[in-house]
Amino acid sequence: MHGRLAAPVAVSGSRCYNRRACQRLLPSMHVKSPESRATAAGRRTMRRAIVSALVRCAWSPTLVLALGGPASAQGLPSEPISLADGRLVVSGDVSGSISSEPDSGYLNAGDYEHDELRLFRLGVTAALYPAGRISVLGQVRTEGWDQVEPYALFVRVRPWADRAFHVNVGRIPPTFGAFPRRSYGKANLLIGQPLPFHYRTSIQPNAVPATADDLLDVRALGGAEFVRYPLGAQTSEQGLPMVNVLRWDTGVQVGVGSRPVEVLAAVTTGSLSHPLVADDNGGKQIVGRVTFRPSAALSLGVSGARGAYLDDDLLDVLPDGGTESFTQVVVGVDAEYARGAWLLRAEGLASSWRLPAVEAPRLDERLRSIGLTLEGQYRIAPGWYVAARLDHLGFSEITGTRFDREPTPWDEPVSRLEVGVGHYFLRNLIAKVAYQQNRRDDPYPSPGGFAAAQLLYWF
């Protein structure tokens, strides 16, 4: 009976009658009988009982309230767990994804070399409220059970109760962009991640190409762990995405305002492409974001970040001793418009990395890339929606001795279209089915199209 109303079935005074017949015949009374639904005999005799049931219903002194169906459509927990008189609240997200074939081209390479389309992910989030305006928030995740990672762990202080001002200290939420602040779980309309926020370029944090040719030789191999550069670590390392939403950075974040203008600023140890817990280069990243919401329907955002991304161990082996500052600089704009059944989002980023210019043909210019993602959702019926996303990554050109000495993008441009359907079995249990088509002039054969499905549950 847990979570269900006691919904007795129809009776007629002290007499019994065919309750299914009543249910079918008297919709205005809405007499329902779960028992009769399961009664095969009742089904067989339903037609013969029509007239007698009607007569009995009409003359019966009492009828039963029919609260059809269970009290709650939720068979699974739907709300967070509250402990210690509400001072500790725990919630969770679980998702499992499967795709039609392995992603041998690293188009969906996520963290720890996982394929984002073939992934089991479990996240547990907790909030501790020890005192009035202080809270401690954390999240641990595991992907494929390989390892459990602390994703977030920070203290939030709201010094003044009546002012929109808060400070987060620790492994803090992303400051930059719109998608990173909604990347997990239900907020992702589809299964894959937008390219600018996970796709691995061929830039690495602890090894660098000595020449432009070194870089041109590994185009489209950013997700591969076997890429080695002449300078720096010779260990397995994936390339850096423009913005890594799969790990959070460590530092101090300040938020001011709420509506219509909200400002976020942070100082962190890593960079957008390479978030860190412990600093590896002594350089801090400065990142900021301004969100303007002129109405409930529209949200506009501008973000910027600048931070050192190369490891000190690498700088030590550079010919000039790494005296220069090797930074990643990113600017981004985003917009969201929603009304009725429609939700439209757009986000654009421009990133540049400075690499050491070691040998000819030299990498004198900053390596630039742009990322664009457009996505939309339309809710077609209760519990159903369709969604689509279009992504593109482009890269600035460099000149080496490869490609007939013609200027060539330093990494292979890639585009993606992903379309899908989402269905809510429950408010907090969603199934998604999507098809993703990638386009990249691949130097190595790899499938570009993937059919994928995902089941997502949260409480």
Question: Within positions 167 to 226, which residues make up the interface with other proteins, using CB under 8 A?
Answer: 173, 181-182, 186
Is 82 near other proteins (CB under 8 A)?
Answer: yes
Q: Report the residue from 107, 109, 126, 367 that binds other proteins according to the rule CB under 8 A.
A: 126
Return phi, psi of residue 195, to 5°.
-55, -45
CA atoms within 13 A on the CB side of 204: 30
How many residues bind other proteins, per CB under 8 A?
Answer: 87
Is 161 near other proteins (CB under 8 A)?
Answer: yes
**Least distance from C-beta 11 to other proteins, angstroms?**
7
Parallel, antiparallel or unpaired: strands 367-381 and 384-395: antiparallel
186 vs 362, beta carbon nearer other proteins? 186
**Least distance from C-beta 185 to other proteins, angstroms?**
10
With contacts defined by CB under 8 A, name the span among 110-118, 193-201, 265-273, 334-342 that binds other proteins. Answer: 334-342
Is the Cβ–Cβ distance between 287 and 303 less than 8 Å? yes
Q: Which of residues 22-51 bind other proteins (CB under 8 A)?
A: 24-32, 47, 50-51
405 vs 427, beta carbon nearer other proteins? 427
Q: Report the residue from 94, 98, 140, 164 that binds other proteins according to the rule CB under 8 A.
A: 164
Query: In the beta sheet, which residues pair with residue 153?
Result: 138, 171
Is 304 near other proteins (CB under 8 A)?
Answer: no
375 closest CA partner among 423, 342, 422, 333? 342
Q: Report the residue from 252, 426, 431, 453 that binds other proteins according to the rule CB under 8 A.
A: 426
Q: Report the residue from 38, 261, 297, 360 that binds other proteins according to the rule CB under 8 A.
A: 297
Q: Report the residue from 340, 404, 406, 445 that binds other proteins according to the rule CB under 8 A.
A: 340
**Least distance from C-beta 89 to other proteins, angstroms?**
6
Q: Report the residue from 263, 343, 388, 421 that binds other proteins according to the rule CB under 8 A.
A: 343
Q: Report the residue from 295, 325, 401, 437 that binds other proteins according to the rule CB under 8 A.
A: 295
With contacts defined by CB under 8 A, name the span among 65-73, 142-150, 304-312, 315-323 that binds other proteins. Answer: 65-73
Q: Which of residues 243-262 bind other proteins (CB under 8 A)?
A: 255, 258-259
CB count in 10 Å sphere of residue 289: 25
What are the tokens at 212?
């432009």
Is 428 near other proteins (CB under 8 A)?
Answer: yes
231 closest CA partner among 253, 211, 257, 261? 211
79 closest CA partner among 427, 425, 383? 427
Q: Report the residue from 49, 109, 119, 152 that binds other proteins according to the rule CB under 8 A.
A: 152
Cis omega (within 30 of 0) on the bond before 361? yes
Q: What is the DSSP string of 397-430?
A: EE--SSGGG--EESS--EEEEEEEEEEEEETTEE
Is 1 near other proteins (CB under 8 A)?
Answer: yes
CA atoms within 13 A on the CB side of 109: 21
Q: Which of residues 372-391 bind other proteins (CB under 8 A)?
A: 379, 381-383
- Spell out, one character per residue from 128 to 147, where the chain touches other proteins: x when CB under 8 A holds, - when not: -----x-x-x-x--------
Q: Which of residues 348-377 bind other proteins (CB under 8 A)?
A: none
DSSP state for residue 115 in the 8-state scheme: B
Is the Cβ–Cβ distance between 299 and 311 less than 8 Å? no
75 vs 407, beta carbon nearer other proteins? 75
Is 78 near other proteins (CB under 8 A)?
Answer: yes
**Least distance from C-beta 339 to other proteins, angstroms?**
6
Is the Cβ–Cβ distance between 198 and 246 less than 8 Å? yes
CA atoms within 13 A on the CB side of 182: 13
394 closest CA partner among 336, 344, 439? 439
The contacts of residue 443 (CB under 8 Å, 6+ apart) are 219, 220, 412
- Spell out, one character per residue from 84 to 103, where the chain touches other proteins: x when CB under 8 A holds, - when not: -xx--xxx------------
Q: Which of residues 263-292 bind other proteins (CB under 8 A)?
A: none
DSSP state for residue 311 in the 8-state scheme: -
What are the tokens at 455?
């089941």
DSSP state for residue 86 in the 8-state scheme: T
Query: What single-letter amino acid sits at 120?
Result: F
With contacts defined by CB under 8 A, name the span among 82-90, 237-245, 361-369, 434-442 that binds other proteins. Answer: 82-90
